[in-house]
A and B are shown apart, each in its own frame.
Chain A
Amino acid sequence: MDEKALDEIISKFKYPSGKTLGILREIQVQERYIPKDTLKLLSVKIDVPLSQLFGLVTFYSFFSLKPVGEHLITVCMGTPCHVKGAERILDTLQDLLDIPDESFDGKYSQTTGDNRFTVEIARCFGACSMAPVIHVDSDLYGYVTPEKVPDILKMYGWEK
């Protein structure tokens, strides 16, 4: 993220309450991860120690320090999704995209070798009526079954 874009984000937050997390959220939404250089720059600009910012981005699950692929797929793991088979959706994605089942630092985030797709999991989207649900970029898909997964992936350029 360039300095001008960061300045623009910072300028939106005039009040101290909610400022730091709000700025980080905007960076995360725009870049889809938090670049380390941006974090360093932010630390200087808002006068918050880098260690504290680092603490925040690792504590809160909304933030990620790892860049993601072209399309970000998030599988909801909320209770209704769990009882309706979210695990099987994740298994299917891992199978089709050929990515491992390993988590790092308690966080699951795997990117395909060609950098086309990243798969992550989330605690709950609050779209429970349509469980199981997945997000692809900003699109929400409900009532997902393992059989429907390939069709969804194809819409984002995936080929078997």
Chain B
Amino acid sequence: MKIISKADLDLVRKTGLKKIEPGHPRVGVGLSSCGIAVGGMQIYDRIMDIIKRNGHDISLVKTGCVGYCREEPIVSVVIPGKAMVLLHKVSGEDVNRVISLALKGEVPNELALCKISDWDHISGKLVYGNGFEDIPDYNEIQFFKHQRKVILRDSGFINPEDIDEYIAIGGYYAACRALTGMDPDDIIDEVKRSGLKGRGGAGFPAGLKWEITKKAPGIDKYIVCNADEGDPGAYMNRNEMESDPHMLLEGMLIGAYAMGINEGLIYIRAEYPLAIERLTFAINQARDYGLLGKDILNSGFDFDIQIATGAGAFVCGESTALAASIEGKTGRPRLRPPRLTEKGIWGRPTDLNNVETWCNVPVIITKGAEWYSDIGIKGSTGTKVFSLVGKVENVGMVEVPLGTTLNRIVFEIGNGGAGGKSVKAVQTGGPSGGCIPVRLFDTPVDFESLNRAGTMMGSGGLVVMDEDTNMVDIARYFINFASGESCGKCVPCREGLKHLLLILSRIMAGKGTVKDIEMLKDLSDTIQKTSLCGLGQTAPNPVVTTLRYFNEEYEQLIGEESKGG
């Protein structure tokens, strides 16, 4: 069927709600890439087998990821009228018990992580019920209680391969409101007033970029979603696309309408096959419902989305390199201006936003700019998803209001160093960012504070280092990465990084001298100031920050002897 009005959407919503609240037990298995890797698919298949063989009245669905990666495989059980229960570290042997108990309206208590009585999907609310007094509440779990789920509002709750479930919790209602009742310029204004900044790293105001693109002369413009997520240690976007692909599509649809653009592209890295598969699936479902295509929601507006795949080049996160890559060229950046908003893909004005930026849009339209800008702090509104990884006890996807301190993220949510080791530093912003020492962990995570600390927000990878991590080795690791990923077009980046790497390797081998430290500083400064694009301009950051905060580790490696010479 085609959805052409709010009434149609209401009909589909009813169908979707029947799937979420089927009147009999519903079991969901967390099946993002990580859930699958730790055996989630085998659990899913086993449950399917049991249900089919016995003709049980149980719904089984694939869900996305609730973000507590350490506890996977995670299985959710919903008994009608009772709280949803999340089971953790479920194995194949547990499956029979989970099912037989579910049929009796019970859950295996020893596998229970927490219960959820109701859930705010922001676009809508679901009330599950009570019961299971012995199981702790979601808000009592240390990993969850300081989080604020706005982007990950549906992750782990709905089936990412079923558009009906997304509509059931209020999905596409924001798009419906925008396309059938809002002036495009008012939408841009709403996004501007929300204070939403680009979540890809640089933090450019999203609404302003939309306005610039809209005003740029030219026809047949593009909007693009950057899903190339090349930062090592970052997997927020993968999770967002695997767990809730329709929120991205809805965000793009609203943005396209606001800017009056009919063609959308998602540039996604080839290393994310499941995200590509789920997005393709979601796009086809949206087309079937007429939510992509011609005359969407009877508004006269046409919009469709194509997928373009990247092929493993970090530099393609840079906007002009990304555009070149989509055109089938090597991803080498060019001088800016002209910016993409003037001269983008195939020379046409192009609006480029990160996955997470788009995912915020339906929320802003649903709740309004004021509601949104109340989250976070002045200048950095809303929430941000981080992948909290490395040597931290609770690894996982963490979503917090911007302005939350590193202390809270690493020590309260993350529960400190893995295995009781002491935390030394955290790397933010990937290879373009820097290492912040533990003594500065009262730094709020927002665009400005991180820049002041010498690093940057980046896309949201937080890699925790502990007492065993050698910070000079970390600097060398990142320079090795950036040197390998340099496109080779400009000399400071191509040659400068190579020499930084040589010097760092020399220091690591115990053959460094005091002069090398000076050279590292000078060379870093030159590369930062003279490189053509963001890759080179930020690549020395890990060296600069480790020299600034962990100078003693460099000195130790240089040793007394060579200090004299």
Say whether A and B bind each other. yes
Q: Is the CB of A63 within 8 A of B427?
A: no
Q: Is the CB of A59 within 8 A of B465?
A: no
Q: Is the CB of B311 within 8 A of A24?
A: yes
Chain B contacts of A62 at CB under 8 A?
270-271, 310-312
Partner of B328, one of A56, A81, A106, A128: A56
- In the complex the two chains form, what is the Cα distance from A122 to B390 in whole Å? 17
Q: Cβ of A113 < 8 Å from any Cβ of B? A: no
Say yes or no: A77-B232 contact (C-beta < 8 A), given A83-B463, A106-B484, A142-B37: yes
Q: Cβ of B34 < 8 Å from any Cβ of A? A: yes
Say yes or no: A140-B37 contact (C-beta < 8 A), given A18-B326, A125-B271, A131-B389: yes
Partner of B313, one of A48, A59, A80: A59
Q: Is the CB of B232 within 8 A of A61?
A: no
Q: Is the CB of B484 within 8 A of A20?
A: no
Q: Is the CB of B313 within 8 A of A61?
A: yes
Shortest Cβ distance from B422 into chain A, in angstroms?
14
Q: Is the CB of A79 within 8 A of B390?
A: yes
Chain A contacts of B231 at CB under 8 A?
124
B residues 302-356 in Cβ contact with A at 8 Å: 306-314, 325-331, 345-346
- In the complex the two chains form, what is the Cα distance from A126 to B396 in whole Å? 12
Q: Cβ of A157 < 8 Å from any Cβ of B? A: no
Q: Cβ of B78 < 8 Å from any Cβ of A? A: no
Chain A contacts of B310 at CB under 8 A?
21, 60, 62
Q: How large is the interface on A (under 10, 10 to 19, 20 to 34, 35 or more residues)?
A: 35 or more
Q: Cβ of B267 < 8 Å from any Cβ of A? A: yes
Chain A contacts of B311 at CB under 8 A?
21, 24-25, 56, 60-63
- In the complex the two chains form, what is the Cα distance from A79 to B182 in whole Å? 45
Shortest Cβ distance from A159 into chain B, in angstroms?
25
Q: Cβ of B558 < 8 Å from any Cβ of A? A: no
Q: Is the CB of A48 within 8 A of B36?
A: no
- Cβ-Cβ contact count across A and B, 8 Å cutoff: 149
Q: Cβ of B166 < 8 Å from any Cβ of A? A: no
Q: Cβ of A15 < 8 Å from any Cβ of B? A: yes
Q: Cβ of A11 < 8 Å from any Cβ of B? A: no
Q: Is the CB of A142 within 8 A of B38?
A: yes
Chain B contacts of A133 at CB under 8 A?
37
Chain A contacts of B222 at CB under 8 A?
17
Q: Cβ of B265 < 8 Å from any Cβ of A? A: yes
Shortest Cβ distance from B384 into chain A, in angstroms?
17
- In the complex the two chains form, what is the Cα distance from A106 to B484 in whole Å? 7
Give the nearest-CB partner of A24 in chain B.
Answer: B311
Say yes or no: A127-B330 contact (C-beta < 8 A), given A17-B345, A24-B311, A61-B311: no
Q: Cβ of B395 < 8 Å from any Cβ of A? A: yes
Q: Is the CB of B331 within 8 A of A59?
A: yes
- In the complex the two chains form, what is the Cα distance from A25 to B461 in whole Å? 26
Q: Is the CB of B233 within 8 A of A128?
A: yes
- In the complex the two chains form, what is the Cα distance from A79 to B418 in whole Å? 16
Q: Cβ of A22 < 8 Å from any Cβ of B? A: yes
Excluding A18-B308, A25-B311, A126-B272, 9 further A-B contacts by CB distance (< 8 Å) are A16-B346, A55-B330, A60-B331, A62-B271, A62-B310, A62-B312, A79-B463, A126-B238, A130-B69
A sample of 23 inter-chain contacts (CB < 8 A) reads: A17-B222, A17-B306, A18-B267, A21-B310, A25-B309, A48-B328, A56-B330, A60-B311, A61-B311, A78-B232, A78-B233, A79-B232, A83-B463, A83-B465, A123-B481, A124-B232, A126-B235, A127-B37, A128-B233, A128-B387, A129-B389, A140-B37, A141-B37
* A-B interface, 4 closest residue pairs, ranked by CB to CB distance from nearest: A18-B308, A20-B328, A129-B69, A78-B232
